[in-house]
Structure 1
Amino acid sequence: MKTQHTADLISKGARAAGKWVYVDSEGEKQTRLFATTEEAIQNEADIIRGAREEADILWRLNRSALSSEGGEVHAIHQKGEISYLYRQGIYHVRVEASRSLPIFWGDLVVKIGRVSQSGIYE
């Protein structure tokens, strides 16, 4: 359960931080997701932090809760940093944890992977 909560927290936090809503020249409301603060500055966007940068911070702060149970944990952001996901307004993260469970004849390695995807849908 912690694995899914961590994945959800990262994807929703990253989306919220990198989301920029603006009105285009035709008066239409547009929304865009920026990966980095530098990219947002180049486009004169007003955001908190880039989505990828926020995801890194959230992962660093929450990784210890998963690794405290033993085993390895890691996150795969944006399916290996596929850039078109940002253009579509999607933040995708997969959190994987593996744990070794002792059983009668040895150890059994159990892998748990959870995915969370947050998008800008309007």
Structure 2
Amino acid sequence: ISLFLVLMQDNHDGILHWPLKVKVTFTLLNQLSSNNNQSISFWFDTTSNCFQRSTTDMNIIDGISRFFSLDLFEKNQNQYIQNDTMYIKVDTDFQAENPKIPLTGSTGGLLNDEEHADTI
């Protein structure tokens, strides 16, 4: 399973500090047991154009190409899909401290390296 995000232009962009320094956590929610949610956290790469203030309607997308194994998902899909519905929670943390070393992955802008990711 891959997850991607995009920053879109908004009327409130003027009150934000750019580039955004944000920690993002994607969580695939297990609908049968909250003990088996699948999460990964990453920081915006502040040097990437994907996370600068938008000059058009939306920026270029970026994301995590290998968030969750499709094989594992298919074996356990009854945990993650109920009534044809899957929930993915996105948390943003503007207060967390950025790591001292830049964490970028093969996708360019976001961390895509399990060695450096916070997996919950």
Fold equivalence (TM over 0.5): no
Larger RCO, structures 1/2 (Cα 8 Å, 6+ apart): 2
* TM-score scaled by length of structure 2: 0.29
Which structure has greater helix proportion?
1
Structure with the higher strand share, 1 or 2: 1
Larger radius of gyration: 1
